[in-house]
Chain A
């Protein structure tokens, strides 16, 4: 395990030690469109340590990472490298200061070889100034060997590699740049268990060489196995920086959430009705495996699990985007073939997708155009779209959901995240669905709008709608769901009723490493 850390104190940065620190942040703040996403955050990273950065979605972690990587520039506060104040105008500047990032979306060149991907931009040269392929291959081999990745073929094209292997290439790339700080953004989010173990070994190996790691992850076991210190952010504020030895899981969760959960979420109204939707051994390839569950009218069923556990994939299968390769989907007790979103809609199923900007909305179009899109057949007069009824439908949605907009003709891209989400909801509720699937219903939405959407979900369920909710925010899952299913490795690995769904129990099932490849 990595080199010994110096004495830890609660917050970073006293002048005496900062001269040796590969990176130190002092009172950093950053706003987007007038909203402060990071406010007065200070911490430091020490050589050879694994520094975990934790917080709920929207707590400001990714903004902090982007500031350190030179992708964003802080509005206030200083970044210090080796005790000197630096300004990163671009990722290039951050590289030069020894800070490298392993991006979640892995920035690689699929059609080039492993060796070239590692060195592109700083290739070894011969005396004549030409690229020295042999030297490049030798150094790539050495680098990968030093990461215990003897099995990676340096002459293979990256296109055919798994996510875990691609990640190793990005790490090798950072080492080739002599990085002193390596930022890893949810590195295990998309990894299979064997790859997680390998990655942890690599992280320890890097620390032993004196490389500092900024490690962003939701997975408690990894944090406790790897990290020396942990910094917790909440709502853009710095909560604390502590040695991992001084905290336990419960304490970390309470630092991240910072409030009692139950009070914020509206209570259940009414009783459950008949079974609305039932899945029997539904599979889609290898991402959705033998899923069986039923959902009743009036019920909110929470689907918990880590990114990549198969939750969204299950929703897409129900909604006809990726129709099942085996198994049965029953609506109102009758088996149905759902081969397209159109078919799903006609069965009364609505899906509010995870990626609002890409999947949910046409941002360049108006509110009314967006709302009409899923309801064209209903809003016709003869063979024409009835423009008056489209506008009227949009007006209704604006009133019903309290969408703050100038009017039905305002472009969706001009709205805030919360109001955009309400437009998506308006579009789908206008189809009069009986089964509503909501994928990350409040991601990237401010606290006020969040509460409104939660109230709305409760109200809809109270009116008898069956709701399947996917969420990565544990408090939301626990607060909203009448019942919780936990997914891992494309399967349902656990089920909790309201009474037994505690943060500890659900969290443990989510992060339990063997859940992912369970047979």
Chain B
């Protein structure tokens, strides 16, 4: 795959994003303000963190529907470890994140060890993890976190929201790993032709386990940011997150069939979606109505991608 070929989708997307930003800015003078943009970045961070891992997952030809449930489960565990078990908050955070990462590893284990299609395995764990969150919490929320904890979701460093720094650093790491390391090469190879990858000495199962574990880890990290931002823990946190994440990744040019995709594309896809949501809201479209646009954009983007593929005679 040549660089120009890879970047073509990203270029189109970048142009689209810029156009969207210009149009939205002209529709509402509230849109293009530093305050609004930073706030949108804050709102984007949780989806963004998970989308980075999801890019790897989808590039291998898999999918992870359980990320929203892992987020919910981690949030609940964080609250339970701290409030009910009386652990110090930093320990509770660490332990909850460990559990979230383990949940991701379990996905990978089921997929690699038993050859269960990722779609079905993570559909089952979507129910299981959310069910655990509901069962453990008994639908009771946890509040009253100490002040310092809200820094993760509400604090700023050098005038930029903390979680945007987090997202930025994670993005750079993800982009470097996917683009420049043997691990990234293995990820693409698995998605493009798993058998050939295995026959070339790539450790296919180990790579997949790492990737699904990373999806668990980043979902858990997003959970911490989420809880800190909204100052409370509820078992329904992150419901439907997988849709936003997958939409962003696929819109960013990652092929749902695997083998193709970039972190830059995913970030552009996320920005475009967030800009559309925000812009439409500012222009008076009612809150949840904006997800219609996301659905249309998702189907449209893949349709165009599929037609391109056909023309190339893939």
Contacts and interface: CB of A to CB of B under 8 A. Distances in A.
The answer to whether A and B touch directly, with their CB atoms under 8 angstroms apart, is: yes
Interface in A157-194: none
Given A358-B196, A361-B193, A376 B182 contact: yes
Nearest to B257: A364
B303 to A, nearest CB: 20
Interface in B176-201: 176, 180-182, 184-186, 188-189, 192-193, 195-201
A250 interface: no
B72 interface: no
Contacts of B184: 385
A345 B186 CA distance: 16
Nearest to A373: B200
B199 A351 contact: yes
A259 B207 CA distance: 50
Contact of A341 (B192, B201, B259): B201
Contacts, number: 77
A321 interface: yes
B11 to A, nearest CB: 18
A366 B2 contact: yes
B292 interface: no
Nearest to B192: A362
Contact of A365 (B1, B180, B203): B1
A335 to B, nearest CB: 21
Nearest to A427: B200
Contacts of A359: 195-196, 199
Contacts of A380: 182
B180 A366 contact: no
A123 B188 CA distance: 46
B198 A365 contact: no
A362 B197 contact: yes
A361 B189 CA distance: 10
A369 B1 contact: yes
A163 to B, nearest CB: 22
A342 B185 CA distance: 15
B202 interface: yes
B133 to A, nearest CB: 36
A81 interface: no
B314 interface: yes
B198 A341 contact: yes
A372 B186 CA distance: 10
Contacts of B198: 321, 341
A369 B184 CA distance: 12
B182 A385 contact: yes
Contacts of A373: 185, 189, 196-197, 200-202
Contacts of B2: 366, 409
Contacts of A353: 199
A186 to B, nearest CB: 23
A342 B176 CA distance: 24
A158 B188 CA distance: 36
A239 interface: no
A362 B181 contact: no
Interface size bracket, B side = 20 to 34
A380 B193 CA distance: 23
Contacts of A361: 193, 196
Contacts of A383: 181
Given A361-B193, A362-B192, A366-B2, A376 B180 contact: no
Contacts of A319: 199
Given A341-B198, A366-B1, A385 B185 contact: yes
B256 to A, nearest CB: 15
Contact of A376 (B1, B186, B196, B260): B186
A416 to B, nearest CB: 16
B195 A358 contact: yes
Nearest to A356: B196
A363 interface: yes
Contact of A377 (B1, B180, B182, B193): B182
A98 interface: no
B1 A364 contact: yes
Given A341-B198, A360-B199, A427-B200, A372 B181 contact: no
Q: Of residues B199, B202, B203, which shows the largest number of chain A Cβ atoms within 10 Å of its Cβ?
A: B199
A381 to B, nearest CB: 10
Contacts of A376: 182, 185-186
A32 interface: no
Given A359-B196, A411-B1, A374 B189 contact: no
B240 to A, nearest CB: 33
Contact of B181 (A340, A345, A385, A427): A385
Interface string A182-214: 000000000000000000000000000000000
A386 to B, nearest CB: 9
Nearest to A411: B1
Interface string A223-254: 00000000000000000000000000000000
Given A364-B1, A369-B1, A411-B1, A374 B180 contact: no
Contacts of A358: 193, 195-196
Contacts of B196: 358-362, 373
Nearest to A350: B201
A21 B209 CA distance: 61
B46 to A, nearest CB: 28
A340 B198 CA distance: 9
A241 to B, nearest CB: 38
A74 to B, nearest CB: 23
Nearest to B2: A409
B200 to A, nearest CB: 4
Interface string B1-41: 11000000000000000000000000000000000000000
Given A321-B198, A374-B200, A384-B180, 11 more contacts: A353-B199, A358-B195, A359-B195, A361-B196, A362-B197, A365-B188, A365-B259, A369-B185, A373-B202, A385-B181, A411-B1
Interface of B: 1-2, 176, 180-182, 184-186, 188-189, 192-193, 195-203, 259-260, 314
The 9 closest A-B pairs by CB, nearest first: A376-B182, A342-B201, A373-B200, A345-B201, A374-B200, A362-B193, A341-B201, A362-B192, A384-B180
14 contacts: A321-B199, A361-B196, A362-B193, A364-B259, A364-B314, A366-B2, A373-B200, A383-B181, A384-B176, A384-B181, A385-B180, A385-B182, A385-B184, A427-B200
